[in-house]
Structure 1
Amino acid sequence: MNSHTDFDPQKRTGTLTLRGVCATEDAASLAQALRELVDGIETAKAAPGPGGDAEAPPWTAVLDMSGLSAVGMVFFEVVFAAWLVLSQRGTALSRHGPQPDCVRQAAALTGFAAVPGLAALFSGA
């Protein structure tokens, strides 16, 4: 699995882009990438300027899964844990880009497509 993170203080978004296969052996690297996304947003919130303005709209963490070619159960478990942390910190988690069939089908099979708060992330096209 390959990942890349971008932060846009003007739009108040942090985007994690994932590519390739995310299997059990990728759990640690996925968790690290999501931790860096969460930490980067928290750092930006505390910074002076447009990203850290307390009066501005809240930040959004964005997950771009359009480049994933296969996912395992651990993918959903780690994303769910990150969503819980983000939710506690007042940051929404949303999806960018098309939803790969492998993610949509696996989310439906595992039940994550029906989890309140994650349904929009894992359902639909």
Structure 2
Amino acid sequence: MKEIDFVAHGDIPYSSAGSDDVYKHIKEAGMFVPTQRTEGISTSDIITRIVCDYDVYARCNLQRGYTAKELNVSFINEKKYHFQNQVDKMKEKVKNMEERSKEFLSTVEEESHDLIQKWEEKLREFIGNF
């Protein structure tokens, strides 16, 4: 059995089946440290955010070189995360190609406009000299 030095929890009695305050014996033993509640902060919300973001956490750490075993990730999830990472890399490549294509088209458009202006000037000059 592991030994603990103290238990930290909100000071409001926490009732459960058969007990008005499950921390009563800990409080009597002087091992209870009351915590202050902070408005707008919920332990449940924090835990929910951690659980919701676990896939992102696991994917990032697999990319960093941690093993699935170290992260307690199943074989199937490991493969799923690797696949998702490959899909994200492909999306990034497509996005970069799209941006480069737009830049290229913009450059071609500007150069063709300049070329047309030069042709028009040469045409006027040619007609004037005719």
Q: Which structure dedicates a bigger proportion of its chain to helix?
A: 2
Fold agreement, TM-score > 0.5: no
Q: Which structure dedicates a bigger proportion of its chain to strand?
A: 1
- Report 1 or 2 for greater relative contact order, CA contacts < 8 Å, sequence distance ≥ 6: 1
Considering only CA atoms, is the larger Rg found in Structure 1 or Structure 2? 2
